[in-house]
Amino acid sequence: MTTFSRRSLLKAAGVATGTAMISVSPAAAAIEPGAMETTPSGPLPSESIVAVIRNADRGEVTILSGRTEKTYTDKALVKRLLKAAALNHKHGQGVA
């Protein structure tokens, strides 16, 4: 019979030796926690980038940047933005 202690588990994961890898692999992205609400660290930049979801089902997102406007298909980005937007509404709708 094999038994696992907490210490052996951490060791196996590499945490105890400080060698845990932080990488951005597709697999890692899939388990990222997504948007986390935070306090803004400063004012809006004067040249803000604005993303507008044009068609959620098709993953279409329009990016306004500087004096340009282009539309992309990026289902992952749209999905993440929608998730973040959902958090906006978690505590109720804005007041008109």
Partner 1 sequence: MSSHREAPEISKDPVADNTDVYAFVSPDAPSTVTLISNYIPFENPTGAPSFYEFGEDVLYSIYIDNNGDARPDITYNFRFTSQTTNPDTFLYATGPILSLTDPSWNRRQTYSVTRIAGNPSTARVLGTNLPCPPCNVGPRSTPNYSALADAAMVTLATGEKVFAGQRRDPFVADVGAFFDLGDIRPAQPFHLIQTGIPAADESRPSVDALSKMNVHSIVIQVPIARLTKDGSVPTDPMSATSVLGIWAAASRQKARILNSPGNVSSGPWVQVSRLGNPLFNEAVVPVARKDEWNAADPVNDVNFLPYAQHPEVAKSLPVLYPVLFPNLAGITGTRDDLVAMFLTGFPSGFFAGFQNYTGKTYADMLRLNVAIPPSANPDPLGVVAGDVAGFPNGRRLADDSNTVETRAVAGLTYPLVNPTYTVDPAVFVAGSGLVPGPDRYLSSFPYVGLPLDGFDNPPVTQ
Binding site for partner 1 (CB under 8 A): 43-50, 52, 64-69
Question: Considering the complex, what minimum distance in angstroms separates the CB of residue 68 from partner 1?
Answer: 6
Question: Considering the complex, what minimum distance in angstroms separates the CB of residue 55 from partner 1?
Answer: 18
Rank residues 38 and 48 by Cβ distance to partner 1 and give the closer one. Answer: 48
Query: Any idea of the CA torsion for 86, 88, 89, 91, to the nearest 10 degrees?
Result: 130
| CA-to-CA dists, residue 85 to 54, 56, 63, 91, angstroms | 14, 12, 16, 12
Rank residues 13 and 52 by Cβ distance to partner 1 and give the closer one. Answer: 52
CA distance linking residue 40 with residue 31, whole number of Å: 25
Rank residues 6 and 70 by Cβ distance to partner 1 and give the closer one. Answer: 70
Question: Considering the complex, what minimum distance in angstroms separates the CB of residue 67 from partner 1?
Answer: 5
CA distance linking residue 80 with residue 74, whole number of Å: 10
